[in-house]
């Protein structure tokens, strides 16, 4: 476990006159992310009343490993809840329910007293290649995809369970509960061990078509089903705030807590992607394209993921690249100190400055390509050994060229995934942009041009947290259903139409991007063995 300083950011959105509306019900969405936990208090119209974010670190004890301390998540949850409640002035008794959104796939192990046994191995950790091979051999590659709708992936939870069992047997022997990150917060607030179908879909342990734990997989992997939490639909009430947690957080004892959803499933609800023909893209630390489907649609090659939707009776098809916005963040952290200092001095967002620099560079970044595989890759090329590459770098290139190349490389990686969804005939007419990258006009323009379809922006900016709050509203009767709530609360405020000329330029560079990766794939494996 690690100690560190936490950072708190608080925002207010409505005047006090708007806060106190007779009979108004309020909902809370808690979004447990990789960089921080964000708690948002919404009114029943979807308006953001108050928001607080507490950040925490990520630990990388070895190359390709990624861990976080669940105590950091819990401290961030408590701190952000208290700040939101104390600052807003809303009566805790008017809060109808609480929902969670959370980073997926992380492994949290608890002992018989509910105490954390080790740091959580999180979604972007790549240490479990050998365990994934064991899972594939034990279940069979085709059968595993038939049941869990996905191949064995290093990011998924099952491989992490096997890794701990093999490498830290004394810890595994003491384990009595296996939870996902957001479900650990649920346990702390309610005392209940529970999860829901959207997040559990990313464990390689769920029977995704049947929306229940797979007895076959658990038996073949020798994982005791008693270790796993109870299963629920995302909108279902799973527990209630305990007296002890009410005293700690300021919430009212007995406030209902619903299942919630994995971060991307929650973001889909928070951007209105709840019916066939709709999709969204998010460029956060990772990059995700997420499409709604009324039927179970599985890629037999396992290049993209099929999960249970947070909408009852529906599923989603999702790609996940591991270093999307994370690639630009890496470049900013290591090579943009002057820009960061200027941003701090002028009160600007440093990413706005980087956007402006990249806008001065033409499409194609003056014949420079970037492969954004800083953390290995998951979709649609499953290769943990892959690494980042600048291709075509010359003495003429300046920092602005590299910034634009990083941004374009992220777009190419998303187009690589989008092509798979098109091959699977997953329908969508336009794509909504969310996440930090969705705020960038340049990134939205690049995506529209490269994808050849409109990129929309919703009028609500709190995607995952709002999605979690909507689920809480459905579970507690504030709304009749998820689709009805989204139709009432969420609308498109802006569309970026594609530019065909730029699309042709990006098409040529995208084809080269694909060839460069194909030729380097074997060399990445060689590099990993040196």
113 noted as active-site residue: no
Q: Please name the residues in contact with 460: beta carbons below 8 A apart, sequence gap of 6 or more.
A: 46, 270, 271, 466, 489, 490
For residue 195, give the 3-state DSSP assignment.
strand
**CA–CA separation, 98 vs 260, rounded Å?**
8
For residue 201, give the 3-state DSSP assignment.
helix
For residue 375, give the 3-state DSSP assignment.
coil
**CA–CA separation, 498 vs 219, rounded Å?**
50
DSSP notation for 409-477: HHHHHHHHHHHHHHHTT--EEEEEEEHHHHT-HHHHHHHHHHHTS-EEEES---HHHHHHHHHHHHHTT
Residue tagged active-site, from 125, 207, 263, 355: 263
For residue 495, give the 3-state DSSP assignment.
strand
**CA–CA separation, 163 vs 337, rounded Å?**
38
**CA–CA separation, 153 vs 141, rounded Å?**
12
Q: Please name the residues in contact with 258: beta carbons below 8 A apart, sequence gap of 6 or more.
A: 97, 98, 99, 234, 235, 236, 237, 238, 471, 472, 474, 475, 476
Q: What is the residue whose two structure tokens read 């060229």?
A: 401
**CA–CA separation, 327 vs 375, rounded Å?**
9
**CA–CA separation, 305 vs 213, rounded Å?**
17
Helical axes 350-359 vs 399-423, angle rounded to 10°: 90
Residue numbers annotated as active site: 263
């Amino acid at each position: 476990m690690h100690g560190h300083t936490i950072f708190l950011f608080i925002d207010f959105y409505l005047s006090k006159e708007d806060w106190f509306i007779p009979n108004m019900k309020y909902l809370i969405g808690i979004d447990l992310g990789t960089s921080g936990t964000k708690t948002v208090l919404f009114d029943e119209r979807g308006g953001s009343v108050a928001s607080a974010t507490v950040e925490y670190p990520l630990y990388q004890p070895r190359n390709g490993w990624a861990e976080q301390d669940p105590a950091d998540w819990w401290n961030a949850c408590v701190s952000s809840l208290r700040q939101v409640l104390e600052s807003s002035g809303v009566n805790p008794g008017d809060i109808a329910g609480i929902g969670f959104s959370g980073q997926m796939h992380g492994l949290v192990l608890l002992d018989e007293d509910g105490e954390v046994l080790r740091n959580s191995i999180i979604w972007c950790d790549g240490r479990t290649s050998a365990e994934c091979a064991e899972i594939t051999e034990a279940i069979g590659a085709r059968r595993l995809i038939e049941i869990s709708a996905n191949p064995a992936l290093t990011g998924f939870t099952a491989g992490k369970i096997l890794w701990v069992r093999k490498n830290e047997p004394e810890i595994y022997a003491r384990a009595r509960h296996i939870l996902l990150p957001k479900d650990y917060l649920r346990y702390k607030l309610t005392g209940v061990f529970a999860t829901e179908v959207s997040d559990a879909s990313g464990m390689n342990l769920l029977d995704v078509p049947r929306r229940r734990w797979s007895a076959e997989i658990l038996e073949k992997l020798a994982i005791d089903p008693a270790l796993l939490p109870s299963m629920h639909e995302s909108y279902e009430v799973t527990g209630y705030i305990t007296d002890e947690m009410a005293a700690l957080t300021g919430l009212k004892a007995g406030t209902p807590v619903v299942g919630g959803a994995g971060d991307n499933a929650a973001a889909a609800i928070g951007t209105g992607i709840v019916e066939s023909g709709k999709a969204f893209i998010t460029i956060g630390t990772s990059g995700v394209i997420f499409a709604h489907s009324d039927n179970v649609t599985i890629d037999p090659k396992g290049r993209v993921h099929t999960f249970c939707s947070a909408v009852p009776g529906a599923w989603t098809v999702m790609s996940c690249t591991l270093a999307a916005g994370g690639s630009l963040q890496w470049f900013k952290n290591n090579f943009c100190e002057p820009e960061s200092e200027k941003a701090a001095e002028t009160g600007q967002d440093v990413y706005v400055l980087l956007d402006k620099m990249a806008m001065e560079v033409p499409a194609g970044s003056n014949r420079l390509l970037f492969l954004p595989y800083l953390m290995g890759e998951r979709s649609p090329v499953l290769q943990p050994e892959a690494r980042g590459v600048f291709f075509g770098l010359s003495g003429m290139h300046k920092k602005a060229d590299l910034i634009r190349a990083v941004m374009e490389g992220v777009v190419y990686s998303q187009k690589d995934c989008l092509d798979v969804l098109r091959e699977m005939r997953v329908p969508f007419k336009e794509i909504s942009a969310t996440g930090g990258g969705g705020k960038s006009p340049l990134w939205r323009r690049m995506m529209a041009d490269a994808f050849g379809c409109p990129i929309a922006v919703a009028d609500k900016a709190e995607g995952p947290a709002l999605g979690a709050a909507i689920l809480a509203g459905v579970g507690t009767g504030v709304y009749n259903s998820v689709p009805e709530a989204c139709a009432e609360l969420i609308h498109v405020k802006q569309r970026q139409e594609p530019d065909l000329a730029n699309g042709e330029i990006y098409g040529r560079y995208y084809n080269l991007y694909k060839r460069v990766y194909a030729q380097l794939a074997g060399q990445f494996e060689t590099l990993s063995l040196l």
